[in-house]
């Protein structure tokens, strides 16, 4: 597994583990801590996230495909994590349904940017002939990580409150923002080409005249 794939998996793992702390008990938070929160609010919050994510995915992916090189892809990955982090931090101060709706929209835009950038880079850099292994490793690690996070999230919320839970999730998401920085130099300037490096020429002395 090469460096790019390793850091991409770690970044995605951190992001989705942060999300995994919250997702299983988010409905409990909405009903118990948001004024007027009920099952209907839970449904609308879920719908807003998935609809906006879906609407952002296609134009974001088309934009990335039209641009040469991978710096834009990586920028979308980082920007998506930043927006997700802002949304999670905003949950701490939310107390009305519309607060949640706005934050769900921000979170959705972030994931709509993150996913196409991530999958584009991953697809191009995964070792040839081991594509299934690369994606399978990612899926397994994220599955285990989010599963553990879900169990811990419930325990943390029960014993320390939702504010503590959101702050812990925020730490993981912030970590996911910085990991892609370590692979900037590995990003291709053009499709199929590595970043341009100065050419080192071996200067030979002129051949002696006969």
Let me know: does 141 contact 13? Beta carbons within 8 Å: yes
Q: Are 76 and 64 in contact (CB under 8 A)?
A: yes
- Please give the model's pTM, rounded to 2 decimal places: 0.84
Question: Model confidence over 42-75: pLDDT tens digits?
Answer: 999 999 999 999 999 999 999 988 887 788 899 9
Flag whether pLDDT at 137 surpasses 70.
yes
**pLDDT tens digits, one per residue of 161-192:** 999 999 999 999 999 999 988 988 888 765 44
Name the burial class of residue 152, with classes exposed (0-12), middle (13-18) and buried (19+) by CB atoms within 10 angstroms of its CB: middle
- What angle in degrees, to the nearest 10, is found between the helix axes of 71-91 and 39-66? 160
What is the rounded distance in angstroms from the CA atom of residue 42 to the CA atom of residue 101?
Answer: 10
pLDDT reported for residue 128: 86
Q: Which residues pair with 190 in a beta bridge?
A: 193
pLDDT tens-digit profile of 105-126?
Answer: 999 999 999 999 999 899 888 8
Average pLDDT over residues 148-166: 94
Contact 190, 60 (CB under 8 A): no
pLDDT for 205 beyond 60 = no
Q: Given CA atoms 71, 76, 81, 87 in this order, what sign does their dihedral have?
A: positive
For the chain, which residues make up each domain, given as ranges? Answer: 3-179
Tell me if residue 193 falls in helix, strand or coil: strand
Query: If we measure between CA atoms, which residue out of 135, 147, 37 comes closest to residue 94?
Result: 37
CATH topology for 3-179? Growth Hormone; Chain: A; (1.20.1250)
| CA-to-CA separations, 72 to 26, 83, 129, in angstroms, rounded | 32, 16, 26
DSSP character at residue 179: G
């Amino acid at each position: 597994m090469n460096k790019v794939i390793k850091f991409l998996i770690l970044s995605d793992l951190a992001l989705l583990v942060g999300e995994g702390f919250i997702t299983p008990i988010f409905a409990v938070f909405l009903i118990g801590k948001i004024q007027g929160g009920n099952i209907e609010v839970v449904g609308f919050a879920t719908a807003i996230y998935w609809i906006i994510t879906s609407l952002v995915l296609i134009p974001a992916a088309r934009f990335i495909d039209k641009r040469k090189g991978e710096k834009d892809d990586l920028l979308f990955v980082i920007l998506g994590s930043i927006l997700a982090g802002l949304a999670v931090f905003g949950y701490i101060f939310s107390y009305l349904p519309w607060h949640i709706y706005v934050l769900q929209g921000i979170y959705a835009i972030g994931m709509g940017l993150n996913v196409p950038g991530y999958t584009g880079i991953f697809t191009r850099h995964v070792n040839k002939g081991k594509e299934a292994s690369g994606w399978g490793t990612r899926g397994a690690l994220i599955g285990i990580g989010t599963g553990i996070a879900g169990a811990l999230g419930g325990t943390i919320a029960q014993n320390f409150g939702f504010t503590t839970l959101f702050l812990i999730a925020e730490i993981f998401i912030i970590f996911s923002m910085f990991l892609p920085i370590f692979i900037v130099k590995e990003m291709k300037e053009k499709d199929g080409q590595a970043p341009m490096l100065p050419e080192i020429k071996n200067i030979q002395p002129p051949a002696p005249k006969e």
